[in-house]
Amino acid sequence: MLQGSAERVAHAGLSVCKLVACIVLLGLAMPVLAEECDRYEDLCPRAKALQLCQAKRETTHACGTTWGHYTCPATEHVGNDSVPLGHFDACINTDIRAGWVGWVRYYYDYASNTPDVERNRGNPPCEKGCFGDPVNALTGNKFETHTEFVGAGSFPLRAEWTYNASGTSAALTAEDLIFGRNRSHFYGRRVLNGTESGLIVSLVARPDGNTIRFYKGGDAGWSSNGDDPGALAMVTMPDGSSKYRFDDGKGGSEFYGLDGRLLSLRSPQGEEQTLSYDLEGRLERVVDRYGRALVFEYQDGRVSRLHQPDGGITAFSYSPTGDLVEVVYPGGSRTEYRYDESGFSEAAANSGLLTAVIHDGQRYSSTKYDTYGRAASTWLGSGVDRYDFKYSGTTAVPTFFEVKEPGGGTRSGPVRLKQGAAMPDYVYSSYCPGCSSFRTTYKYDKNSYVNTETSSDGTVTDFDYNGRGLLVQKIEAANQAATKRTEQTSWDAVFPVPLERKVLDASGTVVQRTTWTYNDRGQELTSSQHDTVSGAARTATTTYCEQTGVDTGTCPLVGLVLTTDGPRTDVGDLTTYAYYGSDHPDCATAPTTCAWRKGDLWKVTNASGQVTETLRYDGAGRALSIKDANGVITDLDYDARGLLTERRTRGSQ
C-alpha cells in the first residue's frame, strides 16, 4: 500500500458525508471533473496536476471483498480488517475504474498507527520528548550529534556526524556511511528513487538520520507529508544539465546529480559549498566560496583522516564491525566510543548500541539499553545528571513513556503517531518525589504541528502554522478574554523570513508592530519598528555587494554586507565594511596558512570614522590579528579544535 499523506475528509455543509479519492495516474491522462478537483484542492494540497480528485458518496462505493473502507470521520471500519484503523483506503467505483490503467490507491494517514522509523531519528519534533544525553523518550532512540570541525563565517565548512541507535536513513548507500555504522553526517545527504505500489518515490536523506519521502505521479511535481519541510524538484542548470533541487524550507538549497549524490549546498544568502567524489563514489572534498577546503582520506571505505583547511588533521579508527571507536584530534586529544558493553545492553549482541563516550581516558557519558534497543538510562561521569526511561509496548514506538529526572521528578504520558512520527498526547510532570503532578495536553493540526497546548489549570496556548511549517499566529491564554496575548506573523513567499510581526493585547489592539524588507536573496534590507499610536517608524537599513559591484571591483563577492545604517536621524550611525579583494599571494603555495582569502573581512569603519582592521586569518577563516582604531593589535590563538585559547594585546610594532 502507498504510504501517503492525504487527509481524512469530512466536508462541512454536506447532508451526506463525502469522501475524496485522490487518484494518481501514471503515464495516462484521463478526464476529470475539474470543478470537483478545484473544490477539493484544499484537501489534497500536494496532489497537484496529475493527482486528480473526484468526490464520491460513501454509499456508492463498490468495495470488493479484498478492500475495506471507513465511515467519515474514520472511526469505524467496514470490510477488510487488514487495513489499519485510522487509514481511509479509498475504494474506486467500478464505473470509474473501467479502462483505467496505472491508478494507485492513495490512503488517508490522518491518524496513522503505523510507526515510521525513518521519521523518528535525530532530535524529536517536539522538545517535550527529548531528555538526557540525549534520548527521544517517545521512541527510546538514543541520538547524539558531534562536530569534529567547524570553520568560520556565516556558512562554514562542517565535519559533523549524528549517531542514532535506530540506524541510518534508508536512502543512504554504503558509500555514504563514511563515519561508520549508525552514523549519518552533515554532507551525507542523498536522493534515492524507487517505487511503492507503482508510484515513483524519492527518498531524501537528512543529516540527522531522518528521511523525507516524496511521491511523484507522471509529469506532476513531487509531494511530501504535510509536516515534512522542504520541496523537491528537477531543475535545469545554467550549463544545461539537469539536477535535483531540494529546498529545505529554511531558505537553503541542495543540488543533487541524477545519481542522487549531493553536489552542492547553497545558503539562504547565496553562499555555496561544492562537493566532489573519488572514483569509489566517496566524498573526497568540500570547498567553500573562499576556496577553503575539507579533504577526506579513506581506509576500508571509512574516513581515516580529515584534512582541515587550517592544516590540522583528525584521525578516525573503527572496529571490525564498522563502529567508530576512536577519534584523535590535532594536538593529541582523543575521544573513544564503546558499544554493546556487558551490563549496559539487554539487546542482541553486536547491535552497535553506543554505551560509552570517553574523553582523554575519562568516561564522560554512559547509556544503558533494554531488550528492544531502547535507551533505559543515561548519565554523565560516575552518575551525575542521570535519567531513567521506561516504556510500554514492544514496538518501535511505545504506547506510553516515563522519564525519571536527576532531581527525582518524573515526566510521563501516552505516545501518539502523526503520519508515522511519534508525538506526546499529554505529559504529566512532577518536579520532585511526592510532589503533585501537573498535566500538559497537546493537540495537533493536520500537518502534525502543535495546534493547542493546554496546561493543568486549563490555560490554552493556541498555535497556527502555514503549509510551510512557519508559525503565523500564537495566542497565549487563548481562552482567557481578559489576559490573552496574540502574536501574528506574515512571511515572505519564498524565504522563511518575516515580513510583518504584530502583537495584540486582549482587546485586539496592536501594541507592537515590526516590518522587514529583503532583497531577492532573502537578505534583510530594512527593519522598522512602528509606533502603534503615531504611526512613525524607526528604520535600520543594510546594503550588500551586488554583481555590479563585483564587475567594477568595488566589492569581491555578491551578498557581502557593505553598510549598516541605524534608525537614528539626529546623528550619523552608519557603519561600513570593506573586504580583501583577492587571495593573499601565499595562498597559491600555502593554502592552510596564508593570511587571507578573497572576501574575508578587512576593515570596519564606524559612524565616528574609527577603523578596525583584521590583519590576518588562519586557514579555517578565524581571525588571528586585529588592529583597533588606536593602533593596538590583538592576537588570537586557538586550539586544535578551533576554540579560542589565548588573547594577547600589543602595540603596532
**pLDDT class for 220, splitting at 50, 70, 90?**
low
Beta bridge partners of 442: 453
Q: In what order do the strands lie in the sheet with 222-224?
A: 191-196, 199-205, 211-216, 222-224
Cα separation values, 278 from 186, 281, 284, 297, 489, Å: 18, 5, 6, 10, 46
pLDDT digits (tens, 9 = 90+) for 184-206: 999 999 999 988 766 788 999 99
Report pLDDT for 196: 72
Q: What is the pLDDT of residues 470-528, one digit of tens each?
A: 999 999 999 999 999 999 999 999 889 999 999 999 999 999 999 999 999 999 999 99
When pLDDT is cut at 50, 70 and 90, the band that residue 408 belongs to is very high
Q: In this structure, how many other beta carbons lie within 10 angstroms of the beta carbon of residue 324?
A: 25
Q: Among residues 143, 178, 174, which one has the least CA distance to residue 294?
A: 178
Comparing CA positions, the residue from 602, 599, 515, 606 lying closest to residue 565 is: 606
Q: What is the pLDDT of residues 153-183, one digit of tens each?
A: 999 999 999 999 999 999 999 999 999 999 9
pLDDT at residue 15 greater than cutoff 50 = no
In tens, the pLDDT along 552-600 reads 999 999 999 999 999 999 999 999 999 999 999 999 999 999 999 999 9
Backbone torsion region of residue 179, taken as left when φ is above 0, otherwise alpha when ψ lies between -120 and 50, otherwise beta:
alpha
DSSP assigned state of 493:
S
When pLDDT is cut at 50, 70 and 90, the band that residue 227 belongs to is low
Distance CA 83, CA 202 (A): 24
- The predicted structure's pLDDT at residue 653: 64
Residue 447, classified by CB atoms within 10 Å of its CB into exposed (0-12), middle (13-18) or buried (19+), is buried
- pLDDT category, 226, cuts 50, 70, 90? low
pLDDT score of 280: 93
| Residue 114 reports pLDDT greater than 70 | no
Average pLDDT of the residues in 294-306: 98
SS (H, E, C) 583-642: CCHHHHCCCCCCCCCCCCEEEEECCCCCEEEEEEECCCCCEEEEECCCCCEEEEEECCCC
Taking the C-alpha atoms of residue 359 and residue 368, their distance in angstroms, rounded to an integer, is 19
Which pTM was predicted? 0.81
**Candidate from 5-9, 140-144, 249-253 with smallest mean pLDDT:** 5-9
Quick one: how far is CA 205 from the chain centroid? 11
